[in-house]
A = this chain, B = another copy of it.
């Protein structure tokens, strides 16, 4: 038989109320307070009202940390983005938070800057938070990341892209196809020389996918694929330089149309064309990607593709919610949500016959 251990110094932080404080004030046990928050209907109306008043008065808020530990299911969803400084990021995040908030789920964000390694690090960090679900924004991960994902045993959504044969939910659109779409748009108008301009030393692998779709379409049509990579970081400047170079080239060598990997490059081109003595779209037809707010205001207005950014974020979150609400389905078939990426035809892409 052991002696009673000596009392130890307590580490209670006096500054915060606990469920026990509320229980004591109400003259009930703490589990009743727990139920008041999680299953109010299982608490009598009288007690409920008393608790409501006390909680209100002392400003008690249940600890997500303790609750998450005890229940084994925290209220956290994690998302790894690729470019936290882009408009795409903002719209996706808004879509996700708007949708998750109502369910009391907290979104944790990380930035991978288009890097597989940074994505792996982010996932590793997130694992420590025991999230209920994970939202990723690419479909090619490091082997280590793939291993963690399958070991996690939680819903995983790959948003923004849309590919086949993945073990995870897909919410987005096929990027290569959008490149093909723009190529077709020009081929249908009779173009034979169409160029694709990628941003500087490509971090953005989606842009590269669009370029591939373009190239495949050109090749299939028996035409030459002409993919160029910008030599400056700034997208506007890159577009402007493309125009300068175009004006300097002999007319016969010029492409009849240029597809820019994003609207910023195209805008830079349009705003600089006049300085180069080029008249758009006569001297060269243009298209972009992303439907930036400014694009419709440019002269000529920019033809572009409009991805459903907000809706993709929203749908990714909905997919998560659906999976969490569903009964314990062991390995459900991954959901596939194909969201629109609409071709917006404006003046800039009108090809001059001949």
Cβ contact within 8 Å between B59 and A147 = yes
In the bound complex, what is the Cα–Cα distance between A13 and B153 (angstroms)?
11
Contact of A272 with B by CB under 8 A: yes
Q: Do A65 and B68 form a contact, CB below 8 Å, given A108-B106, A153-B15?
A: yes
Instruction: Flag whether A90 is at the interface (Cβ < 8 A).
Output: yes
Q: Is the CB of B72 within 8 A of A130?
A: no
Please tell me which one of the listed residues B84, B90, B91, B272 contacts residue A97 in the complex, with CB atoms under 8 A apart.
B84
Contact A94 B90 (CB under 8 A): no
Contact digits for A114-153, partner B, Cβ 8 Å, 1 yes 0 no: 0000000000110111100000000000000001100101
A94-122 near B? 1/0 per residue, CB < 8 Å: 10010000000011111100000000000
A residues at B contact (CB < 8 Å) = 11, 13, 15-16, 59, 61-66, 68-69, 72, 74, 84-87, 89-91, 93-94, 97, 106-111, 124-125, 127-130, 147-148, 151, 153, 234-236, 240, 264, 267-268, 271-272, 274, 293-294, 296-299
Q: Decide yes or no: A128 and B69 within 8 Å by CB, A271-B299, A297-B268 being known contacts.
A: no
Residue from the list B68, B69, B74, B297 in contact with A271, Cβ < 8 A? B297
Among residues of B, the one whose C-beta sits closest to the C-beta of A237 is B297
- Contact yes or no, B297 A240, CB < 8 A: yes
CB-based contact B74/A84 at 8 Å: no
Q: Across the interface, which residues of B come within 8 angstroms of A97, CB to CB? A: 84, 109-111
Whole-angstrom CA separation of A297 from B148 in the bound complex: 46
10 sample A-B contacts, Cβ–Cβ < 8 Å, listed by A number: A15-B153, A61-B124, A64-B130, A65-B74, A84-B97, A85-B91, A87-B90, A93-B109, A97-B109, A271-B297
Q: 3 closest pairs, A vs B, by CB?
A: A64-B128, A61-B127, A61-B128
